[in-house]
Amino acid sequence: MQARHILLKTPLLVEPIMQAIEQGADFAQLAREHSACPSRSHGGDWGQLDQTTLPKAIIDALMEANVGSVIGPIESRHGLHLIKLESISAA
């Protein structure tokens, strides 16, 4: 499973970023511009996910998501995550 994410420290940014995504904005570019995570330099790319290291709420949401969909915000100890599921690997 591969995903990108945008980590937000304030809920005030969730709505405008989600609106931009819905209007077709590039998720990776939004991650570069707005994410508080070091992965922002790679467009928020988490790469191949290790499901044992992510919070259960994030894994559960990703398991329900369709490839290409954006989910969130999902709260963690780091902040609020907007996550785009990029691909699902064959098991």
**What's the mean pLDDT in 47-67?**
89
CATH number at 78 reads 3.10.50.40
Please give the residue range of the domain that contains residue 17.
2-87
Residues 6+ apart with CB under 8 A from 87: 1, 2, 67
pTM over 0.85: yes
Higher pLDDT, 55 or 8: 8
Per-residue pLDDT tens for 26-38?
999 999 999 999 9
Q: Is the pLDDT of residue 91 over 80?
A: no
Number of domains in the chain: 1
Confidence (pLDDT) at 48: 87
